[in-house]
Structure 1
């Protein structure tokens, strides 16, 4: 995997295994993870969100630092913005 946007999904897989908790198959993840645990923005986020919606995902987790969508199109997919790994854990496992 060479796309940094896969980082967040890999971290989720590791956390899920470590905590022995399942992750909903309707969740999608797109974000680069820095060495200090920050979730960095990725390129082409509008396209990634649209593709996740097209594939039937109900929720996508992205960096809060991604630029807001500019095309004005209302998305049906729920977007959860994250700043770091602790915010990921709070939003993913403590519902």
Structure 2
């Protein structure tokens, strides 16, 4: 799990530090038949709304609860302490400071 979280952290920081064009150039073999321009528009939008910190705080968890624990999901409500373990992201951030 630590290796996975660290890889996500490093990838997120790489995306943050590179232009949409550079991101596209890195992923181009995997995007299928969509155009370069369409992908760059999407990457630009995603860069603006991405959380580059990787921390789930009480406020963000509360916002997510409204989606995850709705009746239609069938997921019983859980406390943040039951499912959030920040030690993995903290270790990744320490090993690879932003």
TM-score band, normalised by the shorter chain? under 0.3
Larger radius of gyration: 2
Q: Relative to total residues, which structure has the larger helix share, 1 or 2?
A: 2
Q: Relative to total residues, which structure has the larger strand share, 1 or 2?
A: 1
TM-score (norm 1): 0.25
Which of 1 and 2 has higher RCO (CA within 8 Å, sep 6+)? 2
